[in-house]
Amino acid sequence: MNIANKITLLRIAMIPFFMGLMLIEFPFHMELALAVFLIASFTDHLDGYLARKYNLITDFGKFMDPLADKLMVTAAFVIFIQMGKIEAWIVFVILAREFAVSGLRSLAAAQNTIIAASSFGKLKTVTQIVTISVLMLDNFPFSLINLPMDVISIYLTLIVTVWSGLDYFSKNLKVIMPKKLEQKA
């Protein structure tokens, strides 16, 4: 197992600690949870960088890396529902997009096609990281100037998430309906 895959597994191993820090209340528990989350987010960048730079790309990494990301984000958003910080329907839409794009990628892989991360997909990831961070800090420091950045970031994440999902599907219609598109050509 190469270093990039080990970093991915480390990110997955961080999830229970992250969840525990979010759920078990003690002084600065959310700040510590945020630190774990940000370290995990950095490892996502690091393992991809190492895999590309040193040609360590594996099927295991292609499968586990996005799964690790989705597990961490899902854990945060589901806990935020429990805490009353985000509406369940918003989390459902976010998770539905994740499942749909994962399904699209699986279908593409079965057709020997790789769907690379798009710029909208990367923007979606950034907005999710920002939203989770702002929610973990109870809108601090924006609350000091009465700016509802938590609400703004939730809806911005929702919009970018839906938009990026639509982008993936519109650019990859040939994966879903290959025969119909061939017949029109």
Domain count, the chain: 2
Instruction: Tokens 């539905």: give the residue.
Output: 96
Does residue 10 sit within a domain? yes
Does residue 57 sit within a domain? yes
pLDDT band at 184 (very low <50, low <70, confident <90, very high): low
Instruction: Tokens 């100037």: give the residue.
Output: 145
What tokens were used for 125? Answer: 């990831």
Domain that holds residue 137: 87-176
Q: What is the pLDDT of residues 48-73, one digit of tens each?
A: 899 999 999 888 888 888 889 999 99
Residues 78 and 102 in one domain: no
Residues 73 and 105 in one domain: no
Does residue 181 sit within a domain? no
Which of these three, 41, 62, 84, is where a domain ends?
84
What tokens were used for 129? Answer: 């990281």
**Cβ neighbours, 10 Å, residue 47:** 25
Cis peptide before 141 (omega within 30 of 0): yes
Please answer whether residues 18 and 40 qualify as being in contact, where contact means their C-beta atoms are separated by less than 8 angstroms.
yes
Does residue 182 sit within a domain? no
> Is this structure's pTM higher than 0.85?
yes
